[in-house]
Amino acid sequence: MAEVIIVKNQDEAGALYAKSVADLIERKPFAVLGLATGSTPLVAYEHLALEVRDRGLDVSHVRGFALDEYAGLPVEHPESYRSVITRTVVEPLGLDPKHVHVPNGALETIATAGADYDRAIEEAGGIDVQILGVGTDGHIGFNEPGSSLASGTRIKTLTQQTRVDNARFFDGDMNQVPTHCITQGIGTIMKARHLVLLAFGENKADAVAASVEGGVSAMCPASALQLHPHATFIVDEAAASKLKLADYYRWVYENKPAWQGI
């Protein structure tokens, strides 16, 4: 069973992630972080930046790999995931930009960019901790429902729903949202040694319930986390509202030995 931690608010979630990652960097200066975009992880990066500052951590050797990128969107575009990761992770944490990778969405090379990316992750020693958000339809990265649970990084077509959801970053106009993307596959994500999925708010409640307590199915990509040996869901009360075993998860967490971490 994946671990489910039900928190009071987003700050508590961000602090749990930040402590875990800061501890990792302390014992492993060459840590490899899996990074995600979306609004959900922002609070986690903010808390991590504070931990890094307060503990005086040296992050000059930390490597990062983002989950995904839009296809055909110039990297200089403010909403390219390269730009978003630079703004929300690289700069606030003070990471070395040359150690932080984002899949290459350039159309000319996209056919081979996925395999190159998976190789780069392997050469870096694999991802230590991958942060994840979840789409309202259960997607992780940009692996939409129906994606192979064994997939590697590759080009994918975005669903209309995801384009509607993401139109808010493109002047509210879904026609400006690219139709395609390159995303780490579910198989790639599953190779990370620790997966931390964050979800906040009522509109994530169905996706969280399906991911944690539904059957493992390509129709809900995040349900693949049930097969991972170290997956942690950190959710607020609203996102947890449809979990049948919520009281049990609370009981387990309250009785967890303090030294265990997440």
Q: Which residues bind ligand GLP (CB under 6 A)?
A: 36-40, 67-68, 133-135, 141-142, 162
| Annotation says 137 is catalytic | yes
| Annotation says 247 is catalytic | no
58: left (phi over 0), alpha (psi -120 to 50) or beta: beta
Quick one: angle between helices 10-27 and 42-55, nearest 10? Answer: 50
Q: In whole angstroms, how close is the CB of 235 to ligand GLP at the nearest point? A: 12
For residues 142 and 233, which CB has a smaller minimum distance to ligand GLP in the complex?
142
Q: In whole angstroms, how close is the CB of 126 to ligand GLP at the nearest point? A: 20
Could you tell me if 66 and 72 are in contact, meaning their C-beta atoms sit under 8 angstroms apart?
no
Q: Which residues pair with 35 in a beta bridge?
A: 66
The residue from 51, 68, 69, 79 that is catalytic is 68
Could you tell me if 182 and 114 are in contact, meaning their C-beta atoms sit under 8 angstroms apart?
yes
Q: One-letter amino acid identity for 259?
A: W
For residues 147 and 162, which CB has a smaller minimum distance to ligand GLP in the complex?
162
Q: In whole angstroms, how close is the CB of 79 to ligand GLP at the nearest point? A: 11
DSSP letter, residue 179: S
SS3 at position 241: coil
For residues 57 and 100, which CB has a smaller minimum distance to ligand GLP in the complex?
100
The residue from 99, 101, 139, 194 that is catalytic is 139
| Catalytic sites, residue numbers | 68, 137, 139, 144
